[in-house]
Amino acid sequence: MRITQRTLELLQATNSGLDQLQRGIEKESLRVTSDGSLSKQSHPTALGSALTHSAITTDFSEAQLELITGVHDSPEACLQELTEIHHFVHANLDAELLWPSSMPCILSSDSDAIPIGQYGSSNIGQTKTVYRRGLGHRYGRLMQTISGIHYNFSVPDDLWRRLGINDQDQKTDAYFSLIRNFRRCSWLLIYLFGASPAVCRSFLQRPDHGLQEFSEGTYYLPHATSLRMGRLGYQSDAQSELHISYNSLAEYTTTMRAGLSKSFPGYAHIPVNENGDYQQLNDSVLQIENEFYGTIRPKRSAASGERPLAALGKRGVEYIEVRCVDLDPFEPVGIDHRHMRFLDTFLLVCLLTESPTDSREESARMVRNQTEVVENGRQLDQQLERDGESIALRQWATELLTECAKVADLMDQHTDNDLYRSAVDAQLAKVENPDLTPSAKVIQALSEGSSFFQFTMQHARQHAEFFAHQPANAESTARLSAEARESLIKQSQIEAADNMSFTDFVRDYLAL
């Protein structure tokens, strides 16, 4: 990817919009007891309704919190809100801790001990639970407890105008262009920020896992970066034959619909409304759009009950969601401002450079590159594939970071500091020295005598202490407390307003 001089000149204007980028974070974490066991307690009432609270909900499991910030025009403001939400959550966990690693350590061998998220008796609430029930049957509940960070990013109107983009259709096309470039190079983020090179023995359910024993109870690969993003993580045999095209909204919709409407024989035995028994929403390759595993998604805010594809089709792409970010176990909220600044810079490079159309063959090549970086990324002579030829990871990474540095310098001109360039320089150092990567730091910590479980529990306790000794923001606490109460009322109102059977609701909701 190369940014033209003409594009750089366009962005030097004072009103380019580079200081108005919008970002938000969705961060998942498991609730665990003081001994490290997965919590069996329901979502705490003090945190409100997981169905209707805007900032605190759950992901797959009842014990898997998802903390959501609003949209912010600076990394600091976004991190501040995420910190305040964490502070409120820790204050209401009743002696529980937040597991700070992406990979879980479920001490029970019974997967049914992993509780599925519950959202009340409303039709939409039951739909969310049935969807998760289906995920559990299809992929196993243990895999679904893997946690990460989703980074939401959008471009301000001033920047669109500088780029000569003025209507929603053009913005949608530009976002898909960004997505195509991102998918080609997302391996770089996995190398730079992957923080899951080792796993707990309890996570290994099959004998052919391919990992090596590091110490008792801990398995790893010597040069791994993010096992979460590899064969042990969000992988699906059913989805492996599915090619989702990002060449346009029309192609994305057509290829996604294929997964949503095509029955998969391997799921046919899972009940769908057998005398009212819903163990999944349907037997398609994908029950709903969110089941498709990818490193990035086009997004549009949707109304309650509105399908994501329908929202995109009606109103176009509003923002993109980056999904390949591991939790950083060394950070109390799982991410820091330097990481966020680099994501901003990298996404801008993806937006500002030429983006050829994708193909099934290229998608397969992307998967191979991602697997190599996941499993062997810190190997000094690691090779990847680019345009049908072999290229050293270090060479390709350096080329990409050189382009990022150009954008970072422009960003710093508009914000009157050197924070963006500093963030890029920190990544260049990781390319030169893999020992500086988070994955290497995790391995180094484990080398000092800790198992994966002990290492993660140590940081879980440290993070709890950090928030216990940090003064609470009274205004934020009051706001989150009020929303928790109001969200419970709102859930009750939704339940009382239902006027159709669950069977009819599911039929209408799934209709494409």
Give per-residue pLDDT as tens, 4-40. Answer: 999 988 888 778 889 999 999 999 999 999 999 999 9
Distance CA 35, CA 53 (A): 29
How far separated are the first and last CA of the chain, in Å rounded? 36
- Please report the pLDDT score of residue 108 as a whole number: 67
Q: Is the pLDDT of residue 303 over 90?
A: no
Is the pLDDT confidence value at 235 over 70? no
**Arithmetic mean of pLDDT, 126-148:** 95
Give the range with max mean pLDDT: 208-217, 224-233, 334-343. 334-343
Question: Which are the contacts of 437, defined by CB distance < 8 A and separation ≥ 6?
Answer: 191, 192, 193, 194, 225, 378, 430
- Of 36 and 112, the one with more pLDDT: 36
Query: All domains of the chain, ordered by start, with CATH?
Result: 5-510 (3.30.590.20)
DSSP calls for 384-443: EEETTEEEEHHHHHHHHHHHHHHHHHHHHHHHTSSHHHHHHHHHHHHHH-GGGSHHHHHH
Q: What share of the chain is helix, strand, coil (3-state, %, to 5)?
A: 50, 15, 35
- In 10 A of CB 277, how many CB atoms? 9
Q: Is 276 exposed, middle or buried (0-12, 13-18, 19+ CB in 10 A)?
A: exposed
The answer on pLDDT for 139 being more than 70 is yes
Mean pLDDT of 339-346: 98
What single-letter DSSP state applies at residue 158?
H
In the predicted model, is pLDDT for residue 244 greater than 90?
yes
Among 146-160, 299-313, 443-457, which stretch is predicted with the lowest mean pLDDT? Answer: 299-313
**Do 11 and 163 meet the contact criterion of CB atoms below 8 Å apart?**
no
d(CA 234, CA 243): 16
DSSP code of 59?
A: S
Average pLDDT over residues 66-87: 97
